[in-house]
Structure 1
Amino acid sequence: MTSESPDMRASDAERERVAETLREAVAEGRLEMDEFEQRLDATFKARTHGELVPLVRDLPVPGGLGGPVTGAVAEREGVADWPARIGGEPTSSGAFAFWGGFSRKGRWTVGRQFTAFAMWGGGEIDLREARFAERDVVIRCFTIMGGMQVTVPPDLNVQVRGFGIMGGFGEHSKLDEEPEPHPDSPRVKVTGFALMGGVGVEWKRSRAEKRRLKEQERLRLEKPDAGDGRKELG
């Protein structure tokens, strides 16, 4: 990108890469929300590389504007990023709560087997931004007079095999459509039991993904106007 002329016209794909970099930056706390909104607005108004570069100059931009697509951009363009999230040393292999609670969320690495126990307490296991030490993972959830919530992204391959005794062990979705596992995603089995308590497995999008879809819809609605403008210029 830096070797190209700042007057070179920017493509839609390059604007999308900059927008994704900004979304990642605000999610990581690198940008405040008001600055994020200002830069995002400037991104979609930019017409040249020279206008785009200052918007991400102080942020990490893997591969530059013309580099390989990753993360949510990859998903949007049909390129799976799941292989990049498999492998590495686990950061946690278990969790315990007694008269209290525990939480595993954000960017953490799940071990081959993760065991969670809660008695008279509760726990949260969020896999939406997690990495996985191996392709096949077993998450064992045991609760006695307590509750546990496992949150998973729409494209993760998940099997639920637990049972409840005077309690519940079930799954539900907060999506408008049926979850569809990606062929390259890890295979996660959630098992265990709930005694006089509950374990829930919920398919849910992350906040970053919701923002991306909202922005994508906004762009889709604005495209007819942009197209009319180009027609008038021609």
Structure 2
Amino acid sequence: MTDEAPDLRASDADRERVAEVLRDALAEGRLDMQEFDERLEAAYKARTYGELAPLTRDLPAGAATPAVSLRKDVAPDSGWRGRIVGGDGSSSWAVAILSGFQRKGTWTMPKRFNCFAFWGGGEIDLREADFADGEVEINCVAIMGGVQVIVPPGVEVVVRGIGIMGGFDHREDGVAGEPGAPRVIVTGLAFWGGVGVERKPTRAQLARLKEQRRQERLQRRAERRELRASRRDERRERHASRRDERREDREHRREGWA
């Protein structure tokens, strides 16, 4: 994380990079479990670089974490600013002939990516990727094969491919993107094959959802424990009240006999 722009909004990829540094630190014994849990929770709750930076400042990997490049044409308050990095992509083409290919994890999507699948299949996963430009194009040619394009929430998708005895998935076409989010254009040809486009949450979002569900389960358990404790207290109070009543009855009877 960079200290030069602490007020800039952090992206899901930024939070996940910090989480990876923390996991490595836990595995190496630099953090105990309590510190790891506290820092990980703070990382997923962080909204700016300034909130992320202190979490890894005292860790070797954290000090070496590179600062991301920033495009000036993206809104300053955009959560996507740190993921549009400019420059060249990590990979600009892929071929699958009677085989398969994958582009996933942390990589840089170029301005144009070309892929070809013949009796094979490929997967292009942009959920953890950075983008070389605010508008990128994926050109897919699938002949008796298939290509699956996975985009994160918030990205605008435009599908312009043609299917001949095959098909392009247009379900995500035209969905408005978040401010400052990249635009992904999917073009090409599917002949006796298919090109699918689907939107899936990122690892950071899945981790947050998992943590949210865990917290909800813990909250429900705590509420059940409180309810059981309250019922036990009520039963004890009723038993105590009955004992007092019986004691008073016995005292009244003794006084009457006296």
Superposed displacement of residue 81, structure 1: 3.0
Query: Residues 44 and 197 of structure 1: is their aligned pair in 2 closer, same or farther, counting only changes over 3 Å?
Result: closer
Contact residue 21 and residue 61 of structure 1 kept, 8 A: no
Superposed displacement of residue 172, structure 1: 4.5
What runs of 5+ residues in structure 2 fail to find an aligned partner?
Answer: 1-14, 43-53, 64-76, 223-258
Find the counterpart in structure 2 of residue 191 from structure 1: 187
Question: In structure 2, what residue type is equivalent to 1:194?
Answer: A
Superposed displacement of residue 125, structure 1: 0.3
More moved, 149-158 vs 212-221: 212-221
Write the deviation string for residues 103-138 of structure 1: whole angstroms up to 9, x where unpaired. 111111121111111001000100111111111111
Superposed displacement of residue 184, structure 1: 0.3
Q: Relative to total residues, which structure has the larger strand share, 1 or 2?
A: 1
* Alpha-carbon distance between aligned partners in 2 of 1:147 and 1:30, rounded to the nearest angstrom: 40
Structure (1 or 2) with the larger CA radius of gyration: 2
Among residues 196, 206, 209, which one is paired with 2:205 in the alignment? 209
Find the counterpart in structure 1 of residue 146 from structure 2: 147
Query: Aligned residue pairs: how many?
Result: 179
The alignment-based identity, stated in percent, is 47
Question: In structure 2, what residue type is equivalent to 1:23?
Answer: A
Calculate the TM-score normalised by the size of structure 2: 0.57
Superposed displacement of residue 82, structure 1: 1.2
Question: In structure 2, what residue type is equivalent to 1:112?
Answer: K
* Alpha-carbon distance between aligned partners in 1 of 2:38 and 2:81, rounded to the nearest angstrom: 33
Question: In structure 1, what residue type is equivalent to 2:185?
Answer: K
Calculate the TM-score normalised by the size of structure 1: 0.63
* Alpha-carbon distance between aligned partners in 2 of 1:148 and 1:205, rounded to the nearest angstrom: 19
Question: In structure 1, what residue type is equivalent to 2:208?
Answer: R
Find the counterpart in structure 1 of residue 80 from structure 2: 82
Among residues 166, 177, 180, which one is paired with 1:181 in the alignment? 177
Write the deviation string for residues 44-75 of structure 1: whole angstroms up to 9, x where unpaired. 999xxxxxx9998436447xxxxxxxxxxxxx
SS of residue in 2 equivalent to 1:194: strand
What runs of 5+ residues in structure 1 fail to find an aligned partner?
Answer: 1-18, 47-52, 63-78, 174-178, 226-234
Q: Relative to total residues, which structure has the larger helix share, 1 or 2?
A: 2
* Alpha-carbon distance between aligned partners in 2 of 1:101 and 1:82, rounded to the nearest angstrom: 30
